[in-house]
């Protein structure tokens, strides 16, 4: 497969989402490549960009005609919005508008690939996306959804700013990151390598039961091929901060695969149960880490779980 868009050129052509600029041929090619055009749906879509912490962050919105709420979607490490069409489709089936952005250093956004100086920059990015949504006057309530690192961003926001957040809807966490698997070994490797290298080669893993996903990921033109040591250091500082964060009365919906070899999910769930008021957890014995791109059967199971509980909350 080949892409017919240039990320830097496409990003430079964008204006804020509220301008609702017509999608260029390059933007349409991007949407088609990742199947984000959602042909046949009565939905208004837009690409835009906003500046935060020296980055140019690319944002996207899908707004069905009768949207009654909004889902904020935050992707995982190495990911970008283009990989989340299944979650976006589910949200639109609930009559939600969806707004998302590529994190700094990811996808169409600027920045050193897959790197970050500090996780506070992710919080600044979240606030920037809130500002974009406010400029569009997206419908309330606002729900938050994050996978893996995106879940970490949502967790950080809700624990530290939840009472003042404009997003008072449901909190959805897919394979949330608190600590990665084999974190002790990762820390040791980081301290040994940091004086000598800025990054190591990425190893693509089988993180979904869908046999088509890994080949697509390996051919994805927006994937980073290196793990920057700066990101590992930023994660180490964030873990200490989040494990010391205050308690929240929010009750997130958590979906976790028990075949997940990316995050230390047993530790993470223990932390989250101690931080939130009785989170509702769906365990999927066969599911791996990348829940947004799991098999159709597994997606149906957890989307059914989310749909039932969100509808119950809104009764």
What are the residues whose beta carbons fall under 8 Å from the beta carbon of 296, sequence distance 6 or more? none
- Per-residue pLDDT tens digits for 137-155: 999 999 999 999 999 999 9
**Domains, the chain, with CATH or none:** 7-314 (3.40.50.1820)
pTM of the entire predicted model: 0.95
- Name the CA dihedral angle for 103, 107, 109, 111, rounded to a multiple of 10 degrees: 80
DSSP state of 247: P
Residue 52 DSSP symbol: E
Q: What is the pLDDT of residues 102-112, one digit of tens each?
A: 999 999 999 99
Percent of the chain residues topping a pLDDT of 90: 85
Beta bridge partners of 307: none
Overall average pLDDT of the 50-69 stretch: 97
Residues 6+ away with beta carbon under 8 Å from 214: 204, 206, 207, 208
CA 200 to chain centre: 23
Instruction: Say if residues 255 and 175 touch (Cβ distance below 8 Å).
Output: yes
């Amino acid at each position: 497969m080949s892409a017919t868009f240039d990320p830097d050129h496409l990003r430079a052509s964008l204006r804020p989402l509220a301008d609702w600029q017509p999608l260029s041929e390059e933007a349409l090619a991007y949407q088609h490549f990742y199947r984000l055009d959602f042909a046949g749906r009565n939905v208004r879509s837009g690409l835009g960009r906003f500046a935060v912490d020296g980055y140019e962050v690319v944002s996207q919105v899908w707004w069905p005609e009768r949207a009654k709420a909004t889902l904020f979607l935050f992707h995982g490490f190495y990911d970008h919005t283009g990989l989340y069409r299944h979650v976006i489709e589910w949200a639109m089936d609930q009559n939600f508008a969806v707004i998302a952005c590529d994190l700094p250093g990811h996808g169409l956004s600027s920045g050193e690939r897959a790197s970050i100086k500090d996780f506070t920059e992710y919080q600044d990015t979240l606030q920037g996306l809130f500002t974009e949504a406010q400029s569009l006057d997206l419908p309330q309530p606002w729900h938050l959804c994050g996978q893996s690192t995106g879940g970490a961003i949502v967790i950080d926001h809700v624990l530290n700013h939840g009472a003042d957040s404009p997003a008072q809807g449901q909190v959805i966490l897919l394979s949330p990151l608190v600590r990665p698997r084999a974190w002790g070994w990762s820390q040791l490797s980081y301290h040994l390598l940091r004086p000598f290298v800025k990054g190591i080669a990425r190893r693509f893993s089988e993180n979904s039961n869908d046999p088509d996903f890994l080949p697509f990921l390996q051919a994805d033109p927006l994937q980073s091929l290196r793990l920057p040591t700066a990101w590992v250091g930023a994660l180490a500082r964030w873990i200490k901060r989040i494990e010391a964060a205050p308690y929240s009365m929010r009750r997130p919906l958590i979906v976790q695969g028990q075949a997940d070899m990316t995050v230390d999910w047993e530790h993470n769930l223990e932390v989250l149960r101690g931080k939130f008021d009785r989170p509702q957890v769906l365990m999927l014995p066969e599911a791996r880490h990348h829940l947004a791109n799991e098999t159709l059967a597994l997606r149906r199971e957890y989307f059914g779980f989310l749909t039932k509980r969100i509808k119950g909350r809104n009764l």
